[in-house]
Amino acid sequence: MNLLEDLQFRGLINQITDEEGLNKLLEDEKINLYCGFDPTANSLHIGHLLPILMLRRFQLAGHHPIALVGGATGMIGDPSGKKAERTLNSTDTVANWSNQIKSQLSRFLNFEAKENPAQLVNNYDWIGKLDLITFLRDIGKNFGLNYMLAKETVQSRIESGISFTEFSYVILQSIDFLKLYEEKNVRLQIGGSDQWGNITAGLELIRKSKENAKAFGLTIPLVTKADGTKFGKTEGGAIWLDPEKTTPYEFYQFWINTDDRDVVKYLKYFTFLSREEIEQLEQETKEAPEKRAAQKALGEEVTKLVHGEEALKQAMKITEALFSGNIKELTGAEIVQGFKDVPSYEHRTKEEIGLIDLLVAAKISPSKRQAREDISNGAIYINGDRVTDLQYILSEKDRIEDQFTIIRRGKKKYYLIKY
């Protein structure tokens, strides 16, 4: 398969301005293409992962990807997909977030490749220098008001309200496409499905500004979940690419808990497994869904891609320890990951303490009477081992790396004791 055929197989093409023309261009030459990422937080999340991996797919096919960090557009706010105005962030905040996003993008794109190195650009470098008169005369004159009002992102906000600031966002992003077309011969912009209006506006500006210019736009489908819930969200919030915000263990868990109805689609979207490998996993899911072979492959591939081999091994080790109950095998760092969101209690001394007293102090059991019942009934586990001794005393031997004790009450209720 050529590149576009592979993208079609994976379901990664939502809209394309001229499929035949783009296909011919990609066969005839290696092109420059770009995708923009606005710094709206100090980390990208898995909603950004699909366009990042699209750039990677183009690079692996020999093309030249450019990742644009929206240092300028990030200060304005994209109205796409938003029901209300975004909160405007300070110049310093956006600049700081831009630098962090640049660092994250370098994990996915090869900026050292000899033949087709990826590039990073920041649109603040040109939009930040643009004066108002030049903006209105040279750029604004190319956009009719009716054309702007017809954009879906604007129409969806007419009733609830849209400021001139966000109304002008589409024009600012159009400047990016024109600038990169002129200076770096960029022929293709890619983005999420909500970026179609912004991409086509950029194509319109190029058409009006450059005689006989030919550029293309391609959008990626919105990632959905079969159960109707929002992709990339959990009870704990968004799934971030920053391991400090979402640990590799949490990240891995997100993927291996994928619904059977979604897992093949996500294998196509988010992994670089071959068509044959994906079809084999699809067959295994149909024949033996309880083995969750596709989910395990998905979790391993994406976690390794985002966080690396060692982080994947840690995530799998934590998962196995929790499944088997063999908590003692975990290191302190792995405990911090695996028990990040469980209730915790800080025991301020390392002196020995009776189990009953600790259960009450840590609010694991509501009273000494209930604590005795829990222990007698075999409901209390220390670091994976069941304890039924009412006189049990916790000491140094019960502390993992002299920092943590994991207590489990019942089948699934974990508590983290910190020292």
Q: Which residues are known binding-site members for ATP? A: 233
Catalytic-role residue among 56, 57, 82, 102: 82
* Residue 374 is a catalytic residue: no
Catalytic-role residue among 56, 57, 86, 245: 86
The distance from CA 155 to its chain's CA centroid, rounded to whole angstroms, is 28
Distance, CA of 278 to CA of 259 (rounded, Å):
16
Catalytic-role residue among 207, 233, 313, 347: 233
Q: List binding-site positions.
A: 34, 169, 173, 233
Catalytic-role residue among 40, 93, 165, 319: 40
Catalytic-role residue among 10, 48, 63, 292: 48
Amino acid at 8: Q
Distance, CA of 267 to CA of 262 (rounded, Å):
9
* Residue 258 is a catalytic residue: no
Catalytic-role residue among 10, 38, 45, 189: 45
Catalytic-role residue among 57, 194, 319, 340: 194
* Residue 210 is a catalytic residue: no
Amino acid at 226: A
Q: List binding-site positions for L-tyrosine.
A: 34, 169, 173
* Residue 184 is a catalytic residue: no
* Residue 141 is a catalytic residue: no
Catalytic-role residue among 153, 173, 247, 253: 173
Catalytic-role residue among 30, 137, 230, 261: 230
* Residue 45 is a catalytic residue: yes
Catalytic-role residue among 8, 119, 165, 234: 234
What is the distance between the terminal CA atoms of the chain, rounded to a whole angstrom? 57
- Catalytic residue positions? 40, 45, 48, 82, 86, 173, 194, 230, 233-234
